[in-house]
Amino acid sequence: MTVFHQSTRKTITGHAPLRSALRDTQTYSSDLQGDADVRDYRQLPLEVDPPLHHLYRSALAPYFVKPAIEKHAESFRKNSESLLKIYFAAEPKEVVSDLALPLVMHNLGVIYNRPQDVEEWISWGPDVWTAESEKRDGAVLHRYLDSVYEEAVRHETRDIYGEIANLEIAGKRISPLEFRGIVGVLLAGGRDTVVKLLTGIMWHFARTDELMQIRSKEITINSAIQEFLRFLTPLPLMNRTTTPETGASDLPEDRYVGMSFISGNFDQTVFEEPFTLNLNRARNPHLSFGFGPHTCLGNHIAEIEARVFMETLSDSNLNWKIHTEEINFHSTPFEKVPDQFKSLKVVLR
């Protein structure tokens, strides 16, 4: 989920300051319009404050609890196995577009019970706002959201859209715009973030022998996933506003404050040698899923998808190395941390 915001007046950094700012929704409000160039409605529950936030969040939470996602693990495994087979079958291919993105989209197709949409979602690429050209545009996503909303209110399908279209918030059935706001973030949230996580995993095991230590159980898959989440910080920063935007007539230019999740994840008062990717790190209270009321709703999806992917890698006899790579790294002090995998091809060793 990359949300485009105007530049910020200041940025909150450091693990403890971030946690307290993320809890303080009065001072640092989420009542703001992100991606203002491509949409004019709020992503929900992301861009509203409590108490309204709580109503959306509690209506959606049952679809995202651990047992609801865990029941799809076997399907995730089949998707991982078949896409890895295709990926390594012939000439070197892109990890992002030929492995991670299709895998994440096939898995979402299972969770949302929308297998018929998977190819369309893949065709959008990792960022739906640039699905048709390099210029950011909401047309592709909005056409899709309007069409699935029509289907959902006509009760034509039994899937997550039918459930969401019929949710009641404060006694009222949700509106078409609220549907856009909820489903938009459910599609965007689990897209580029998980793609980056899985791509980072492939990148790391291409450059080290540590998959052998996963295979021999010297490193547990769970601690490895938490460390990949910390080190890669797939969503490095989100904004808050010091002036809630709803109904405000005068919005100060300098109202935005950045919440730097990445700075919390590399805070050396919390993480020993934070710039070392240590898959055996014992304690790992990373902030990659945020903190406080807006903590990621899809954290179990991301963790279970990554776990099943790593189990599949561990159970296979695949070992690979870098063929070619073009990676943009974050700027100092995070210059060891990949920001964007522009190109990554790996081949069997």
The greatest distance separating any two alpha carbons of the chain, rounded to the nearest whole angstrom, comes to: 62
Helix (H, G, I), strand (E, B) or coil at 311: helix
The answer to the question of residue 200 lying near ligand HEM (CB under 6 A) is no
The answer to the question of residue 219 lying near ligand HEM (CB under 6 A) is no
The answer to the question of residue 258 lying near ligand HEM (CB under 6 A) is no
The answer to the question of residue 298 lying near ligand HEM (CB under 6 A) is yes
Residue whose token pair is 């909303």:
149
Question: CB of residue 109 vs ligand HEM: minimum separation in angstroms?
Answer: 12
CA–CA distance, 16 with 67 (Å, rounded to integer):
31
**How many residues contact ligand HEM, by CB under 6 A?**
24
The answer to the question of residue 289 lying near ligand HEM (CB under 6 A) is yes
Beta carbon nearer to ligand HEM, 6 or 319? 6
Is 245 within 8 Å of 31 (Cβ atoms)? yes
Beta carbon nearer to ligand HEM, 138 or 290? 290
Q: Which of 99, 148, 164, 185 binds ligand HEM (CB under 6 A)?
A: 185
The answer to the question of residue 297 lying near ligand HEM (CB under 6 A) is yes
N residues, the chain: 349
Beta carbon nearer to ligand HEM, 189 or 244? 189
Which residue's CB atom is positioned nearest to ligand HEM? Answer: 298
Q: Which of 184, 190, 274, 338 binds ligand HEM (CB under 6 A)?
A: 190
List, as one string, the DSSP characters of 198-216.
HHHHHHHHHHSSHHHHHHT
**Cis amide linkage into residue 333, ω under 30° from 0:** yes
Beta carbon nearer to ligand HEM, 1 or 165? 1
Strands 320-329 vs 256-260: parallel, antiparallel or unpaired? unpaired
Contacts 24+ apart (CB under 8 A), 270-279: 270/15, 271/230, 275/336, 277/204, 277/227, 277/228, 277/231, 278/227, 279/210, 279/213, 279/214, 279/219, 279/223, 279/224, 279/227, 279/228
The answer to the question of residue 290 lying near ligand HEM (CB under 6 A) is yes
Beta carbon nearer to ligand HEM, 68 or 140? 68
Q: State the DSSP code for 243.
A: S
CB neighbours of residue 89 within 10 Å: 8
The answer to the question of residue 197 lying near ligand HEM (CB under 6 A) is yes
Beta carbon nearer to ligand HEM, 109 or 234? 234
Is 185 within 8 Å of 238 (Cβ atoms)? no
In the range 123-152, which residues lie near ligand HEM by CB under 6 A?
Answer: none
The answer to the question of residue 205 lying near ligand HEM (CB under 6 A) is no
The answer to the question of residue 288 lying near ligand HEM (CB under 6 A) is yes
CB within 8 Å of 32: residues ≥ 6 apart: 5, 47, 239, 240, 241, 244, 245, 256
Question: CB of residue 108 vs ligand HEM: minimum separation in angstroms?
Answer: 7
The answer to the question of residue 286 lying near ligand HEM (CB under 6 A) is no
> Cα-flanking dihedrals φ and ψ of residue 309, to 5°?
-60, -45
The answer to the question of residue 302 lying near ligand HEM (CB under 6 A) is yes
Question: CB of residue 63 vs ligand HEM: minimum separation in angstroms?
Answer: 9
CA–CA distance, 94 with 125 (Å, rounded to integer):
12
The answer to the question of residue 301 lying near ligand HEM (CB under 6 A) is yes
Q: Which of 174, 194, 211, 277 binds ligand HEM (CB under 6 A)?
A: 194
Q: Which of 235, 310, 313, 344 binds ligand HEM (CB under 6 A)?
A: 235
Beta carbon nearer to ligand HEM, 1 or 105? 1
Is 199 within 8 Å of 219 (Cβ atoms)? no
The answer to the question of residue 203 lying near ligand HEM (CB under 6 A) is no
Which residues sit at the interface with ligand HEM, rule CB under 6 A?
1, 45-46, 57, 185-186, 189-190, 193-194, 197, 234-235, 238, 261, 288-290, 294, 296-298, 301-302
